[in-house]
Amino acid sequence: MSTYSAVVRWTRKPEEPFLDGRYSRAHQWRFDGGAIVPASSSPHEVRVPLSDPAGVDPEEALLAALSSCHMLFFLDFARRRGFAIDLYEDEPEGVVGPGVDGRVSMTRVTLRPRVVFSGDKRPTAAVVEELHQAAHHACYVANTVRSAVEVEGRGEGLAPG
């Protein structure tokens, strides 16, 4: 069992009134290896300049995490079967809309990996499909999408009582 963590930090700028809704949604994601990723709400959801289109939004991050997890398992499974890969490129797409319960969610994710093989041993299209199915089954990020999300919040500067 492994535990992962990150720090997500947003700070209100002194000139932003906040209560009127006109505040920047730009923030940072910090990871244990030292990577700092600029993040923001999606400009599809919150207009610029309140969103920063240069930042990664949560929807894009979910797509990238799903694609990356699938890719890492695919590469390993292909290697184990003796297939050399020179390039793996994906352009995933996610659709956000009302789910069956009426709540807005990412209702569909489509991965579109392009894999370039080389070497003496090459897979058939059927074997590539098997590798994708195995990678999809093994990808714990894809498996996680169905899990519960728990919130353990805490507040500071609270009113007494």
Regarding pTM above 0.85, the answer is yes
According to the model, what pLDDT value does residue 147 have?
Answer: 66
- Set out the domains of the chain in order of their start, with CATH numbers: 1-56 (3.30.300.20), 57-147 (3.30.300.20)
Q: 53-61: long-range contacts (C-beta < 8 A, 24 or more apart)?
A: 55/26, 55/27, 56/29, 59/94, 59/96, 59/106, 61/29
Task: Give me the chain's average pLDDT, please.
Answer: 93
State which amino acid sits at residue 42: S
The fraction of the chain above a pLDDT of 90, given in percent, is 77
pLDDT digits 0-9 by tens, 26-85: 999 999 999 999 999 999 999 999 999 999 999 999 999 999 999 999 999 999 999 999
pLDDT digits 0-9 by tens, 78-120: 999 999 999 999 999 999 889 888 998 888 899 999 999 999 9
